[in-house]
Amino acid sequence: MKDNVLDMFYKKGLPPLEQLQRMMAEPLKSAGDFSEIYIEDLVSRSYRLSERIISDISSTYVTGAGIRVLRGNNTGYSYTEDLSRESILKCLGDAAEIAGSAKTFKVHNPGKKHNLYDIAASVYDPPDAKIELLKRAEASAFSICPLVEKVEAHLLENNKITLVINSLGVVAWDIRPMLTFGVTVILKKGAAREGAYEGGGGRVSLDWFKKRTPEQIAVKAVHQALVLLDAKPAPAGEMEVILGAGDSGILLHESIGHPLEADFNYRGSSAFSGRIGEKVAADQCTIVDQGDLPNERGSLNIDDEGNASGRSVLIENGILKTYMYDLITANHFQQPSFNGRRESFREIPMPRMTNTFMMAGKYSEEEIIKSVKKGVYAKSFSGGQVDITSGDFVFSITEGYLVENGKISCPIKGATLIGNGPQILKRVQMVGNTLVISEGKWTCGKEGQSVAVGVGLPTVKLSHITVGGTQNG
């Protein structure tokens, strides 16, 4: 397989491996510590159904190489879309311009590569089956509810082949398929209109739709919009909040995950900097980032620096154990590195999450709901933002309910949760007994780079958090 990957790149003009390795050694003769070439080939296709027809099909082909030279912790980087010897040499020269004092770079053990998504990527198959899936979703949405006014559906599929060669002797490759399916619906009832989105996917083949049909996805989107049509304005102020299992993992990802990425901590700009070993969360909280789960959206056989992905227990029973590292920060903190990721060859790698979740606790969801006198049950979120430095975050609830005297009452709309990451972990009062991974719909942005991630959470009860709504009292 490795030869196949190399041959594929040789056909695109890449010089032979031995020659590349000699080229990579060149800048290290003067003062560099580490050099690396990351080569990528991406084929992607997207299909869109809109206004009751298949309206768009687009195909994209991207090839290129990113070249990095490190001196100490400082990065020189350059990229090219042309894999020829001349272009790569030019990039090496530009990248080697990075100045700085030389430090010894620790030799790193890249670990044994996983085999987490050994499937045939659907992107090379003809469009027929995929168009059928989009049409099934549309038909289902229109047939289930007369209030449905508009349906839009999309399917994105790609296959990315990566090759990493560095001056530490690593030659690593990966073949990464990805499939994403989503349905947007707009419902109209009298003068009122509401919209909703539901999606899923992962590093999976079209067989995935056997267990999660396009009809189910469409029905879920319609259901969410229907709930919103009947929803009352959200309350405002501090109250008890239940985070529903699954989608609420985005809150964990944003408010706890990002501040635990090692680059922020290496620079000292995270709310968690210098706090390893400290109690930062309630006893019941154990939080994990795990890149080696099969077929998940955030899973990787190797990270984008050539290291086998792994599992990090970030917080164990409330104690902060570790950050997530890329090569530079791992070298600084003297830790193993397997969270170095980048959007493409055009970008430098940095510490990023893979699949991030909280381990299950001991309470049933029923017990948790029963314990709430007056509060909000947040079932799904559309997204959120966090200020890494202060730890402040905000999340938008798409589907949420009031909880009164231990019972879920009416749906609410227009609510956000606003809080502070380090504080919120201490307010976890109950953790549910079933961990749910939110399937295949999250993309994480950091410094302008997007990467696919997985998030997950059991049902969690927070003692208090500010709900930003319009109804005071």
Give the residue, chosen from 184, 299, 331, 356, that forms a contact with another protein under the rule CB under 8 A. Answer: 184
Q: How far is the CB of 308 from another protein (least distance, A)?
A: 26
The crossing angle, in degrees rounded to 10, of helices 17-25 and 85-95 is 20
Q: How far is the CB of 118 from another protein (least distance, A)?
A: 26
Residue 382, interface with another protein (CB under 8 A)?
A: yes
DSSP letter assigned to residue 309: P
Cβ-based nearer residue to another protein, 234 or 308: 234
Residue 193, interface with another protein (CB under 8 A)?
A: yes
Residue 230-249 contact track with another protein, rule CB under 8 A, x = bound:
---xx-xxx-----------
Token output for 230:
């009947």
User: Of the ranges 265-273, 291-299, 304-312, 332-340, which one interacts with another protein (CB under 8 A)?
Assistant: 265-273
Q: Cα(77)–Cα(81) distance, rounded to whole angstroms?
A: 14
Cβ-based nearer residue to another protein, 348 or 431: 348
Residue 150, interface with another protein (CB under 8 A)?
A: yes
Contacts of range 189-193, beta carbons closer than 8 Å, 24 or more positions apart: 189/147, 189/229, 192/229, 193/149
Cβ-based nearer residue to another protein, 26 or 94: 94
Q: How far is the CB of 116 from another protein (least distance, A)?
A: 27
How would you classify the pairing of strands 355-358 and 449-457?
Answer: parallel
Phi, psi of 128 (to 5 degrees): -50, -55
DSSP letter assigned to residue 30: T
Residue 450, interface with another protein (CB under 8 A)?
A: no
Token output for 18:
């031995």
Q: How far is the CB of 181 from another protein (least distance, A)?
A: 17
Cβ-based nearer residue to another protein, 45 or 114: 45
Q: Cα(32)–Cα(225) distance, rounded to whole angstroms?
A: 56
Amino acid at the residue 55: S
Residue 367, interface with another protein (CB under 8 A)?
A: no
Cα 257-326-249 angle, rounded to 5 deg: 20
Token output for 124:
């090379």
Residue 123, interface with another protein (CB under 8 A)?
A: no
Q: How far is the CB of 366 from another protein (least distance, A)?
A: 29
Using CB under 8 A, count the residues that bind another protein. 86
Q: How far is the CB of 382 from another protein (least distance, A)?
A: 7
Cα separations in angstroms, 66 against 94, 95, 148, 248, 348: 12, 10, 47, 35, 8
Residue 131, interface with another protein (CB under 8 A)?
A: yes
Give the residue, chosen from 318, 384, 454, 458, that forms a contact with another protein under the rule CB under 8 A. Answer: 384
Amino acid at the residue 307: N
Q: Cα(103)–Cα(432) distance, rounded to whole angstroms?
A: 47
Token output for 372:
């709430």
CB burial of residue 289 (10 Å; 0-12, 13-18, 19+)? buried
User: Of the ranges 2-10, 18-26, 110-118, 126-134, which one interacts with another protein (CB under 8 A)?
Assistant: 126-134
User: What's the chain's length in residues?
Assistant: 473
Cβ proximity of 31 and 98 under 8 Å: no
Nearest one of 272, 278, 275 to 257, comparing CA atoms: 272
Q: How far is the CB of 70 from another protein (least distance, A)?
A: 10
Residue 222, interface with another protein (CB under 8 A)?
A: no
Cβ-based nearer residue to another protein, 433 or 471: 471
Residues 24-53 that bind another protein (CB under 8 A): 44, 46, 50-53
The crossing angle, in degrees rounded to 10, of helices 214-229 and 128-144 is 30
Residues 58-117 that bind another protein (CB under 8 A): 58-64, 73-82, 94-95, 97-100
Give the residue, chosen from 19, 269, 364, 409, that forms a contact with another protein under the rule CB under 8 A. Answer: 269
Q: How far is the CB of 429 from another protein (least distance, A)?
A: 19
Residue 278, interface with another protein (CB under 8 A)?
A: no
Residues 164-183 that bind another protein (CB under 8 A): none
Give the residue, chosen from 175, 186, 276, 319, that forms a contact with another protein under the rule CB under 8 A. Answer: 186
Residue 119, interface with another protein (CB under 8 A)?
A: no
The radius of gyration of the chain from alpha carbons, rounded to an integer in Å, stands at: 24
Phi, psi of 399 (to 5 degrees): -120, 120
Residue 336, interface with another protein (CB under 8 A)?
A: no
Give the residue, chosen from 346, 367, 371, 426, that forms a contact with another protein under the rule CB under 8 A. Answer: 346
Residue 415, interface with another protein (CB under 8 A)?
A: yes
Cβ-based nearer residue to another protein, 95 or 116: 95
Token output for 48:
């869109």
